Structure 1
Amino acid sequence: MLQGKVLRVARPTDYLDRVVHFYTEGLGLQILDSFENHEGFDGVMVGMPGESHHFEFIHQRGHIVGGAPTQDNLIVFYLPNQQEWQQVVERMKAMGFEPVNSYNPYWDKDGVTFEDPDGYRVVLQNAEWSL
Protein backbone atom coordinates (compact mmCIF):
# COMPACT_ATOMS: atom_id res chain seq x y z
CA MET A 1 0.00 0.00 0.00
CA LEU A 2 2.84 2.43 0.75
CA GLN A 3 5.15 1.13 -1.98
CA GLY A 4 6.40 3.86 -4.29
CA LYS A 5 5.39 6.66 -1.95
CA VAL A 6 7.57 9.47 -0.61
CA LEU A 7 8.77 9.31 2.99
CA ARG A 8 9.47 12.62 4.73
CA VAL A 9 10.81 12.57 8.26
CA ALA A 10 9.99 15.97 9.75
CA ARG A 11 11.63 17.11 12.96
CA PRO A 12 11.72 20.41 14.81
CA THR A 13 15.02 21.93 15.85
CA ASP A 14 16.31 24.90 17.82
CA TYR A 15 19.46 25.02 15.65
CA LEU A 16 18.28 24.96 12.04
CA ASP A 17 21.51 26.21 10.44
CA ARG A 18 23.74 23.94 12.52
CA VAL A 19 21.54 20.88 11.90
CA VAL A 20 21.47 21.52 8.14
CA HIS A 21 25.28 21.88 8.19
CA PHE A 22 25.61 18.53 10.00
CA TYR A 23 23.43 16.65 7.51
CA THR A 24 24.70 18.34 4.34
CA GLU A 25 28.37 19.21 4.83
CA GLY A 26 29.00 16.34 7.23
CA LEU A 27 26.88 13.48 5.94
CA GLY A 28 26.80 14.62 2.31
CA LEU A 29 23.05 15.06 1.84
CA GLN A 30 21.85 17.96 -0.32
CA ILE A 31 19.40 20.77 0.29
CA LEU A 32 16.32 19.89 -1.76
CA ASP A 33 14.11 22.81 -0.78
CA SER A 34 13.62 25.41 1.93
CA PHE A 35 11.20 28.04 3.14
CA GLU A 36 11.28 31.04 5.46
CA ASN A 37 8.60 32.47 7.69
CA HIS A 38 5.78 30.26 6.49
CA GLU A 39 3.28 31.17 9.20
CA GLY A 40 6.19 31.58 11.64
CA PHE A 41 8.10 28.47 10.55
CA ASP A 42 11.42 28.15 8.72
CA GLY A 43 12.38 24.82 7.18
CA VAL A 44 14.91 22.97 5.09
CA MET A 45 14.46 19.62 3.32
CA VAL A 46 17.63 17.56 2.85
CA GLY A 47 18.22 14.28 1.06
CA MET A 48 19.45 13.04 -2.28
CA PRO A 49 17.80 14.24 -5.50
CA GLY A 50 15.60 11.62 -7.10
CA GLU A 51 15.25 9.50 -3.95
CA SER A 52 11.84 8.91 -2.39
CA HIS A 53 12.84 9.87 1.15
CA HIS A 54 14.18 12.98 2.81
CA PHE A 55 14.37 14.88 6.08
CA GLU A 56 12.63 18.14 6.85
CA PHE A 57 14.08 20.20 9.69
CA ILE A 58 11.84 22.99 10.90
CA HIS A 59 12.15 25.84 13.38
CA GLN A 60 9.25 27.81 14.75
CA ARG A 61 10.34 31.36 15.44
CA GLY A 62 10.23 32.24 19.12
CA HIS A 63 9.61 28.64 20.19
CA ILE A 64 12.04 26.25 21.92
CA VAL A 65 11.65 22.50 21.28
CA GLY A 66 14.65 21.08 23.14
CA GLY A 67 16.84 18.16 22.20
CA ALA A 68 16.46 14.46 21.66
CA PRO A 69 14.39 12.74 24.34
CA THR A 70 16.88 9.84 24.71
CA GLN A 71 20.29 8.74 23.48
CA ASP A 72 18.63 5.89 21.61
CA ASN A 73 16.74 8.07 19.10
CA LEU A 74 18.63 6.97 15.98
CA ILE A 75 18.87 7.50 12.29
CA VAL A 76 20.88 4.66 10.77
CA PHE A 77 22.58 4.87 7.39
CA TYR A 78 23.76 1.52 6.04
CA LEU A 79 26.94 2.00 4.02
CA PRO A 80 28.17 -1.46 2.96
CA ASN A 81 31.11 -0.19 0.90
CA GLN A 82 34.07 0.03 3.33
CA GLN A 83 35.78 2.85 1.42
CA GLU A 84 32.62 4.98 1.17
CA TRP A 85 31.84 4.37 4.86
CA GLN A 86 35.38 5.35 5.90
CA GLN A 87 35.24 8.53 3.79
CA VAL A 88 32.01 9.69 5.45
CA VAL A 89 33.34 8.88 8.94
CA GLU A 90 36.58 10.76 8.24
CA ARG A 91 34.70 13.76 6.76
CA MET A 92 32.54 13.96 9.87
CA LYS A 93 35.63 13.89 12.11
CA ALA A 94 37.45 16.48 9.96
CA MET A 95 34.47 18.81 10.37
CA GLY A 96 34.76 18.55 14.14
CA PHE A 97 31.98 16.03 14.77
CA GLU A 98 33.36 13.53 17.25
CA PRO A 99 32.02 9.97 17.48
CA VAL A 100 30.12 9.01 20.63
CA ASN A 101 29.60 5.61 22.20
CA SER A 102 26.27 4.21 21.16
CA TYR A 103 23.67 3.78 23.89
CA ASN A 104 23.07 0.29 22.49
CA PRO A 105 26.51 -1.34 22.02
CA TYR A 106 25.20 -3.26 19.00
CA TRP A 107 25.78 -0.17 16.85
CA ASP A 108 29.44 0.12 17.88
CA LYS A 109 30.35 -3.28 16.40
CA ASP A 110 30.13 -2.27 12.72
CA GLY A 111 29.30 1.40 13.01
CA VAL A 112 30.21 4.82 14.25
CA THR A 113 27.70 7.06 16.00
CA PHE A 114 27.61 10.87 15.87
CA GLU A 115 25.28 13.32 17.60
CA ASP A 116 23.67 16.14 15.66
CA PRO A 117 23.34 19.60 17.29
CA ASP A 118 20.00 18.61 18.85
CA GLY A 119 21.41 15.43 20.40
CA TYR A 120 19.78 13.05 17.94
CA ARG A 121 22.15 10.30 17.01
CA VAL A 122 23.18 9.18 13.54
CA VAL A 123 24.79 5.79 13.07
CA LEU A 124 26.98 5.17 10.05
CA GLN A 125 26.73 1.39 9.82
CA ASN A 126 29.31 -0.42 7.68
CA ALA A 127 26.99 -3.27 6.73
CA GLU A 128 24.30 -4.35 4.31
CA TRP A 129 20.75 -3.79 5.48
CA SER A 130 18.65 -6.91 5.70
CA LEU A 131 15.67 -8.17 7.63
Structure 2
Amino acid sequence: MPLNASASVRIARPSRDLGAAERFWVGGLGLDVLYRHTTDGTTPGEHSLLMVGWPDATWHLELVHDPAAPVDPRPTPEDLLVIYLGEPVPDSVVGRLEDHGGKRVPAHNPYWDTWGVTVRDPDGYLLVLSTRTWSNA
Protein backbone atom coordinates (compact mmCIF):
# COMPACT_ATOMS: atom_id res chain seq x y z
CA MET A 1 0.00 0.00 0.00
CA PRO A 2 1.48 3.39 -0.92
CA LEU A 3 2.10 6.14 1.60
CA ASN A 4 -0.85 8.35 0.73
CA ALA A 5 -4.46 9.05 1.71
CA SER A 6 -5.48 5.43 1.14
CA ALA A 7 -3.10 4.14 3.83
CA SER A 8 -4.78 2.57 6.85
CA VAL A 9 -4.30 4.09 10.30
CA ARG A 10 -4.09 2.20 13.60
CA ILE A 11 -4.26 4.13 16.85
CA ALA A 12 -2.75 1.96 19.59
CA ARG A 13 -3.30 2.68 23.27
CA PRO A 14 -2.80 0.85 26.54
CA SER A 15 -5.89 -0.16 28.48
CA ARG A 16 -6.34 -1.03 32.15
CA ASP A 17 -9.44 -3.11 31.43
CA LEU A 18 -10.26 -4.37 27.94
CA GLY A 19 -13.78 -5.37 29.03
CA ALA A 20 -14.56 -1.81 30.13
CA ALA A 21 -12.99 -0.46 26.95
CA GLU A 22 -15.11 -2.79 24.82
CA ARG A 23 -18.30 -1.73 26.61
CA PHE A 24 -17.48 1.94 25.86
CA TRP A 25 -16.26 1.67 22.26
CA VAL A 26 -18.54 -1.13 21.05
CA GLY A 27 -21.64 -0.85 23.25
CA GLY A 28 -21.44 2.92 23.65
CA LEU A 29 -20.13 4.25 20.35
CA GLY A 30 -21.19 1.38 18.13
CA LEU A 31 -17.82 0.27 16.78
CA ASP A 32 -17.33 -3.38 15.84
CA VAL A 33 -14.81 -5.79 17.32
CA LEU A 34 -12.44 -6.35 14.39
CA TYR A 35 -10.00 -8.63 16.23
CA ARG A 36 -9.41 -9.93 19.72
CA HIS A 37 -6.53 -11.80 21.34
CA THR A 38 -6.54 -12.79 24.98
CA THR A 39 -3.59 -14.00 27.02
CA ASP A 40 -3.26 -14.97 30.66
CA GLY A 41 0.11 -13.28 31.05
CA THR A 42 2.16 -16.46 31.43
CA THR A 43 4.03 -16.00 28.13
CA PRO A 44 6.52 -13.12 28.41
CA GLY A 45 5.83 -10.29 26.00
CA GLU A 46 2.41 -11.57 24.97
CA HIS A 47 -0.37 -8.98 25.16
CA SER A 48 -4.13 -9.15 25.15
CA LEU A 49 -5.58 -6.82 22.59
CA LEU A 50 -8.85 -5.59 21.25
CA MET A 51 -9.16 -3.94 17.85
CA VAL A 52 -12.33 -1.93 17.30
CA GLY A 53 -13.57 0.16 14.42
CA TRP A 54 -16.04 0.32 11.61
CA PRO A 55 -15.35 -2.44 9.07
CA ASP A 56 -15.23 -0.08 6.07
CA ALA A 57 -13.12 2.62 7.76
CA THR A 58 -9.43 3.12 6.99
CA TRP A 59 -8.68 3.49 10.71
CA HIS A 60 -9.15 1.41 13.81
CA LEU A 61 -8.34 1.59 17.48
CA GLU A 62 -6.11 -1.06 19.05
CA LEU A 63 -6.39 -1.37 22.81
CA VAL A 64 -3.60 -3.34 24.47
CA HIS A 65 -3.20 -4.89 27.91
CA ASP A 66 -0.21 -6.88 29.17
CA PRO A 67 -1.41 -8.78 32.23
CA ALA A 68 2.16 -9.54 33.31
CA ALA A 69 3.38 -5.94 33.03
CA PRO A 70 0.44 -3.55 32.60
CA VAL A 71 1.08 -0.08 31.22
CA ASP A 72 -0.98 2.60 32.91
CA PRO A 73 -2.62 4.92 30.34
CA ARG A 74 -1.36 8.51 30.64
CA PRO A 75 -3.52 10.62 28.37
CA THR A 76 -3.08 14.39 28.33
CA PRO A 77 -5.92 16.89 27.84
CA GLU A 78 -4.86 17.18 24.18
CA ASP A 79 -4.91 13.42 23.39
CA LEU A 80 -8.13 13.50 21.40
CA LEU A 81 -9.80 11.10 19.04
CA VAL A 82 -12.10 13.38 17.02
CA ILE A 83 -14.92 12.00 14.91
CA TYR A 84 -16.45 14.58 12.58
CA LEU A 85 -20.19 13.96 12.31
CA GLY A 86 -21.17 16.99 10.25
CA GLU A 87 -24.41 17.25 12.22
CA PRO A 88 -25.57 17.79 15.80
CA VAL A 89 -24.39 15.17 18.26
CA PRO A 90 -27.41 13.09 19.25
CA ASP A 91 -28.16 13.17 22.98
CA SER A 92 -28.92 9.46 22.71
CA VAL A 93 -25.32 8.73 21.64
CA VAL A 94 -23.88 10.76 24.52
CA GLY A 95 -26.25 8.99 26.91
CA ARG A 96 -25.26 5.59 25.54
CA LEU A 97 -21.56 6.43 25.94
CA GLU A 98 -22.20 7.46 29.56
CA ASP A 99 -24.25 4.31 30.18
CA HIS A 100 -21.28 2.29 28.91
CA GLY A 101 -18.60 3.78 31.14
CA GLY A 102 -17.91 7.19 29.59
CA LYS A 103 -18.13 10.56 31.28
CA ARG A 104 -18.99 13.79 29.49
CA VAL A 105 -16.38 16.40 30.38
CA PRO A 106 -15.57 19.98 29.39
CA ALA A 107 -12.86 20.16 26.77
CA HIS A 108 -9.43 21.55 27.63
CA ASN A 109 -9.67 23.63 24.45
CA PRO A 110 -13.04 25.48 24.42
CA TYR A 111 -13.13 25.10 20.62
CA TRP A 112 -14.34 21.52 21.12
CA ASP A 113 -17.13 22.63 23.47
CA THR A 114 -18.30 25.03 20.76
CA TRP A 115 -18.12 22.42 18.01
CA GLY A 116 -18.94 19.15 19.75
CA VAL A 117 -19.11 16.99 22.83
CA THR A 118 -16.14 15.53 24.71
CA VAL A 119 -16.44 12.18 26.50
CA ARG A 120 -13.73 10.53 28.62
CA ASP A 121 -13.38 6.78 28.04
CA PRO A 122 -12.73 4.30 30.90
CA ASP A 123 -8.94 4.67 30.40
CA GLY A 124 -9.06 8.47 30.55
CA TYR A 125 -8.66 9.16 26.83
CA LEU A 126 -10.91 11.76 25.25
CA LEU A 127 -13.35 11.19 22.42
CA VAL A 128 -14.73 14.28 20.71
CA LEU A 129 -17.84 13.97 18.62
CA SER A 130 -17.71 17.08 16.46
CA THR A 131 -20.66 18.74 14.79
CA ARG A 132 -18.33 19.99 12.08
CA THR A 133 -17.28 18.26 8.89
CA TRP A 134 -13.69 17.54 8.03
CA SER A 135 -12.15 19.17 5.04
CA ASN A 136 -8.48 19.30 4.28
CA ALA A 137 -9.01 22.10 1.76
Counterpart amino acid of residue 100 in structure 1:
V
Counterpart amino acid of residue 104 in structure 1:
N
1:70 alignment counterpart: 76
Worse overlay, 86-95 or 116-125: 86-95
CA distance in structure 2 between the partners assigned to 1:123 and 1:22 by the alignment: 14
- TM-score norm. by structure 1 comes to 0.87
CA distance in structure 1 between the partners assigned to 2:72 and 2:113 by the alignment: 26
Deviation (angstroms), 1:98: 2.8
Counterpart amino acid of residue 28 in structure 1:
G
CA distance in structure 2 between the partners assigned to 1:11 and 1:95 by the alignment: 19
Is 1:31 the equivalent of 2:33? yes
Equivalent residues of 1:89, 1:124 under 8 A apart: no
1:126 alignment counterpart: 131
Deviation (angstroms), 1:36: 1.7
- TM-score norm. by structure 2 comes to 0.84
Structure 2 unaligned runs (5+)? none
- CA-to-partner distance for each residue in 1:41-92, whole Å, 9 max, x for gaps? 111110011222111111111223122341221100111133xx21422322
Give the share of equivalent positions with the same residue, in percent.
Answer: 36
Is 1:90 the equivalent of 2:95? yes
Equivalent residues of 1:7, 1:52 under 8 A apart: yes
